[in-house]
Amino acid sequence: MTLAKTKFSGKTINLSHGAGGKAMHDLIDQIFVAGFDSPELTLLEDQARFDLSDLSKLGNRLAMTTDSYVVDPLFFPGGDIGKLAVTGTINDLAVGGAIPLYLSCGMIIEEGFAIDDLQRIVASMKKTADAAGVRIVTGDTKVVPRGAADKLFINTAGIGMIAESTNIQANRASVGDVVIINGYIGDHGAAIVDARGELALEISVETDCQPLNELIQEMLAICPDIHCMRDATRGGLATVLNEFANSSNVAIHLEQTKIPVREEVRGVCEVLGLDPLYLANEGKLVAIVAAEDADKLIEIMKQHPAGKDSCVIGTVVKTPQGKVILETGFGGNRIIDMLVGEQLPRIC
């Protein structure tokens, strides 16, 4: 559906657009309802309603998640805050084995925000949701005075269904399992650094922001017993693996030479004193599976665009429990702790 830009009067958001009157109704109807174009939204009820019999056909458990997005800048190479919000919530459902179905969208908009930018973001959210097979079905809009927020913040919540046979949990890693990732790490963090323009860097890295639900369902079809899986967003690969090691009371041994990192990302990290293991990703999953399942899983993952660079990067060992050990390219070992502090603020 094409957004009807000509119907909406004014070029920027003002406080009346959050006051509950005609201006707010016009904003909701002409920007959000028209832009997201889902049957649940067109009813303009205070909630979206679903038939439980339809949901139960997809699984026996309901999964729900929520996240808020404050990324700066709003637009960056390969994506924007809208694509990021939809992708992030879809992936939080998908890595638990859920089939994502419905999203909510709450927007906090600063007075003076450009209508054209808002329409662009809504269109991006719609496009991303459609590609992933989910619908944005309910939402909320608030407008705050100039200076009370930084342009636009988005909250998205999502629900999906988990099949009875699926049991993906952070405490299921076992000695002998292997660690799989679906591609290069750190792309999102490097893309945000580039978009901020604070450093005269000449790089060509785009965010890896992408929904992973289709890839994950194909993984589950070939390997129903995935032990652990998460998307490596804030805190990066290192933080996710520390969470697995702590929850499962095991150690994880990584091989640095097997972890895929683009040269451009390595360069950004060297300039800024960052570690790619901690850089944010928005389209990377980390899975732990039994060793005997790894080859067939990698084979099917590589057939999907989101998994074409998939590889094994490590193994689960017994000790030291709760630790992640990196075998460096020089043959030494070092402990990889969970991220302390924040390498790059407002990354998502």
- Per-residue pLDDT tens over the stretch 284-312: 999 999 999 999 999 999 999 999 999 99
Is 278 contained in some domain? yes
pLDDT of residue 201: 73
> Does one domain contain both 76 and 193?
no
Helix, strand or coil, per DSSP, at residue 300: helix
In a domain, 309, yes or no: yes
Q: Which of 109, 134, 162 is the last residue of a domain?
A: 162
Domain presence at residue 64:
yes
d(CA 92, CA 111): 31
Give residue 23's Cα distance to chain centre.
33
CB 121 within 8 A of CB 81: yes
Structural domain includes residue 280: yes
Task: Among 136, 162, 188, identify where a domain stops.
Answer: 162
Mean pLDDT in consecutive groups of 10 residues from the start of the chain, 348 residues: 54 95 94 96 94 94 98 97 98 98 98 98 98 97 97 98 97 98 97 85 88 98 98 96 98 98 94 94 98 98 98 98 95 91 85
Residues 197 and 147 reside in one and the same domain: no
Its sign, for the CA torsion 278, 268, 67, 63, is: negative
Does 173 reside within a domain?
Answer: no
186, 193, 234, 300 from 279: Cα distances, Å: 5, 11, 7, 27
346 belongs to a structural domain: no
pLDDT in tens, 4-27: 444 677 899 999 999 999 999 999
- The CATH number of the domain holding residue 204 is 3.90.650.10
Based on the fold, state whether residues 143 and 263 are members of the same structural domain: no
Same domain, 9 and 152: yes
Based on the fold, state whether residues 318 and 212 are members of the same structural domain: yes
Q: What pLDDT score was predicted for residue 5?
A: 43
- Please tell me whether residues 215 and 138 are part of one structural domain: no
Q: Whole-angstrom Cα distance, residue 73 to residue 80? A: 8
| Domain annotation covers residue 129 | yes
Given 128, 162, 196, the domain boundary residue is 162
pTM score over 0.85: yes
Same domain for 72 and 200: no
CB 71 within 8 A of CB 113: no
Structural domain count of the chain: 2
| Shared-domain flag, residues 245 and 115 | no
The CATH number covering residue 112 comes to 3.30.1330.10
Task: For residues 155 and 259, state if they share a domain.
Answer: no
The tens digit of pLDDT for each residue in 241-263 reads: 999 999 999 999 999 999 999 99
Q: Looking at the structure, do residues 39 and 97 belong to the same domain, yes or no? A: yes
Beta strands 135-144 and 98-110: pairing type? parallel
Domain span holding position 292: 178-335
Residue 7 has a pLDDT of: 62
Upstream peptide bond of 320 is cis (omega within 30 degrees of 0): yes
Q: What is the pLDDT of residues 75-89, one digit of tens each?
A: 999 999 999 999 999
pLDDT of residue 202: 73
Cis peptide before 260 (omega within 30 of 0): no
Residue 324 lies in a domain: yes
- Judgement on whether residues 147 and 250 belong to the same structural domain of the protein: no
327, 242: one domain: yes
H-helix or E-strand spanning residue 40: helix 39-42
Task: Give residue for tokens 């300039």.
Answer: 271
